[in-house]
Amino acid sequence: MSSSCPRPHCRLIRTGLSWTYRTVDPSLPAGDCRFVYEKTRLNRTFGKNLREHRESLGYSQEGYALFIDLDRAHYARLERADKNISLSKISALSERLGVSPYWLLRDRDDVPE
């Protein structure tokens, strides 16, 4: 697994069942461990699966967002893993897309086809 993150001051750490990028704000005093950004592996996997599904259908982000009844900016944040989504919304989204919630959340790099 790559430990690089496009944002400065990031570290990839194991948090329970997933990996998390955490960014420590360098303006905080030394030893102050407030985290200002977090992106879990599950969020990244979900976003990657959405993007792959969108691209397989030939949609732009804007067209796909309209198709699934979301604002384009909100959809783009989901695809980039910059936004969390509730389980109930994942369930509704999977119904709209005709896929299972598991399909949206599974990491194809870790799970055999």
What is the pTM for the complete model shown? 0.65
Q: What pLDDT score was predicted for residue 71?
A: 93
Q: What pLDDT score was predicted for residue 54?
A: 95
Give the span between the Cα atoms of 47 and 43, in whole angstroms: 6
Range of the domain at 92: 41-105
Q: What pLDDT score was predicted for residue 2?
A: 46
pLDDT > 90: percent of the chain? 49
**Are residues 47 and 81 in contact, defined by beta-carbon separation less than 8 angstroms?**
yes
**Are residues 81 and 75 in contact, defined by beta-carbon separation less than 8 angstroms?**
no
Short-list 53, 56, 55, 37, CA closest to 45: 53
When pLDDT is cut at 50, 70 and 90, the band that residue 26 belongs to is low
Give the span between the Cα atoms of 1 and 64, in whole angstroms: 29
Tokens of 96: 């709209």
CATH number of the structural domain spanning residue 98: 1.10.260.40
Tell me, yes or no, whether 16 and 64 share the same domain.
no
Tell me, yes or no, whether 31 and 74 share the same domain.
no
